[in-house]
Amino acid sequence: GHSLLAVRMLAQALGVGMKVSASDIFNAPILKDLAPKIELDSSSYTPGVLPVRTIGSPAPIFFVPTGYGDCSYVFPLVREMDIDCPVYALPWPPFEEAARPSLKEIAANVTQALRKVQPRGPYRFAGYSSGAVLAYAIAERLLHLQETVSLIALIDVPLPAASPGMTDTEIALQMIFEPLESLSDERFEVLRRSAGQSSVKQLLEKAQQMGAVVGGPDLYRNAIMYAQFHQAVHSYQMPSLPVSVYQFYALADSPSPRPQLPATPHANSPMRGWDRILDAQFIKAVPVPGDHVTMMDVLENRRVLAHQLSAALNNLPITHPNSNLDVK
């Protein structure tokens, strides 16, 4: 399997009363090795919230998934952090294909679940990549409920552009096939041309015929979720909120020869365009080595990110081990 399926498995296991951690699953990926580690305890699980670290006294930090609905990045990142607070991941709620929820509706659903873990603020959120816009929508919901949001940590999150008018199929094309290094530009161009006249299902069938992907109903379901979530993100009317935001931005540009989902102008600046809706004095831009992917995937870079994020959560001054990298 892979990390997204492992997180989904963890949620299902907790939901039926199994006491098991993400580290158990990643460290024992063979079922016969995992089984002895599992206990039954149906009383400690809150549906819609994945416990990553349950000990500690200050307010917890809640992480939202990436734009792929994947919150597996949280587990290796938290292992490198120096914090004394609980940590939870907030998976996407289930999507109904015909429902097409708005980001505010998704945020309201997630907010209801997280308040069972932390009934009152102040609240703290973090998120990586485009999915982190959900953290901002959750903050809007909590502020509407007269709660306090003390921190939002954005990990290389560009401010999304207004709705680009892309179809679900075009979004699925960019999210599933654009990152595939094994897919030649010629075959990608064939899929791009096909996307204009195809449904998501037809696009995936063509990609399977070409040998570009292997998958069945699960791949289709994921593609629909990706498309629905990103339609919601790009349709979100983002307000200016009275919150403090950290933008942990990647220093290196990501190699991207193919088209990307659109972001607002200045999305490559250290603040990633968020100063277009927030006063710059409320945004702290913090550099992290690596590009958008390697800042999280490469251990040395992830340790720097973990150190910087820990300092923000502990309300300590942020310093970078490389004196040439300025925190703005």
Q: What is the pLDDT of residues 234-273, one digit of tens each?
A: 999 999 999 999 999 999 987 665 556 677 778 889 999 9
Which whole-number Å values give the CA distances from 197 to 16, 99, 200, 203, 251, in the listed order? 42, 23, 10, 9, 38
* Residue 118, pLDDT above cutoff 50: yes
pLDDT band at 209 (very low <50, low <70, confident <90, very high): confident
pTM: predicted TM-score of the whole model, two decimal places: 0.86
* Residue 104, pLDDT above cutoff 60: yes
Q: What are phi and psi of 188, to 5 degrees?
A: -60, -40
Residue 308: exposure state from Cβ atoms within 10 A (0-12, 13-18, ≥19): buried
The whole-number pLDDT of residue 186 equals 86
Query: Among candidates 262, 272, 323, which has minimal Cα distance to 152?
Result: 272
Query: Among candidates 322, 318, 275, 281, which has minimal Cα distance to 300?
Result: 322
Distance from C-alpha of 68 to C-alpha of 119, rounded to nearest angstrom: 28
Q: Does residue 27 or residue 304 have the better pLDDT?
A: 304
Q: Does residue 216 or residue 244 have the better pLDDT?
A: 244
* Residue 21, pLDDT above cutoff 60: yes
CB distance 223 to 69 below 8 Å: no
pLDDT (mean) for 44-61:
84
Q: What is the chain's alpha carbon radius of gyration, rounded to the nearest angstrom?
A: 20
Distance from C-alpha of 228 to C-alpha of 214, rounded to nearest angstrom: 22
Q: Does residue 36 or residue 235 have the better pLDDT?
A: 235
What does the pLDDT look like over 150-165, one tens digit per residue?
A: 999 999 999 998 776 7
* Residue 175, pLDDT above cutoff 70: yes
The whole-number pLDDT of residue 296 equals 95
* Residue 147, pLDDT above cutoff 80: yes
Query: Residue 97 has which token pair?
Result: 């294909």
Distance from C-alpha of 44 to C-alpha of 46, rounded to nearest angstrom: 7
Residue with tokens 């609240």: 123
Distance from C-alpha of 203 to C-alpha of 179, rounded to nearest angstrom: 16
Q: Does residue 26 or residue 160 have the better pLDDT?
A: 160
Percent of the chain at pLDDT > 90 equals 48
The whole-number pLDDT of residue 323 equals 40
Rounded to 5°, angle at Cα 139 from 136 and 142: 155
Examine residue 122 and say whether the peptide bond preceding it is cis (omega within 30 degrees of 0).
yes
For residue 61, the cross-strand partners are 87
Intra-chain end-to-end CA distance of the chain, in Å: 40
The whole-number pLDDT of residue 155 equals 97
* Residue 65, pLDDT above cutoff 90: yes
Assign domain 52-157+245-313 to its CATH architecture.
3-Layer(aba) Sandwich (3.40)
* Residue 281, pLDDT above cutoff 50: yes
The whole-number pLDDT of residue 3 equals 65
The whole-number pLDDT of residue 326 equals 47
* Residue 311, pLDDT above cutoff 90: yes
Query: Among candidates 316, 95, 128, which has minimal Cα distance to 225?
Result: 95
Mean pLDDT of all residues belonging to the chain: 86
- Of the ranges 2-11, 25-34, 117-126, 202-211, which one carries the lowest mean pLDDT score? 2-11
Examine residue 47 and say whether the peptide bond preceding it is cis (omega within 30 degrees of 0).
no
Distance from C-alpha of 135 to C-alpha of 29, rounded to nearest angstrom: 30
Distance from C-alpha of 227 to C-alpha of 68, rounded to nearest angstrom: 9
CB distance 249 to 287 below 8 Å: yes
Query: Residue 128 has which token pair?
Result: 């990586």
Q: Does residue 119 or residue 317 have the better pLDDT?
A: 119
pLDDT (mean) for 5-26:
75
pLDDT (mean) for 213-232:
85
Q: Does residue 111 or residue 261 have the better pLDDT?
A: 111
CB distance 28 to 135 below 8 Å: no
Q: Where are the domains of the chain?
A: 1-45, 52-157+245-313, 168-233
Residue with tokens 């939202």: 64
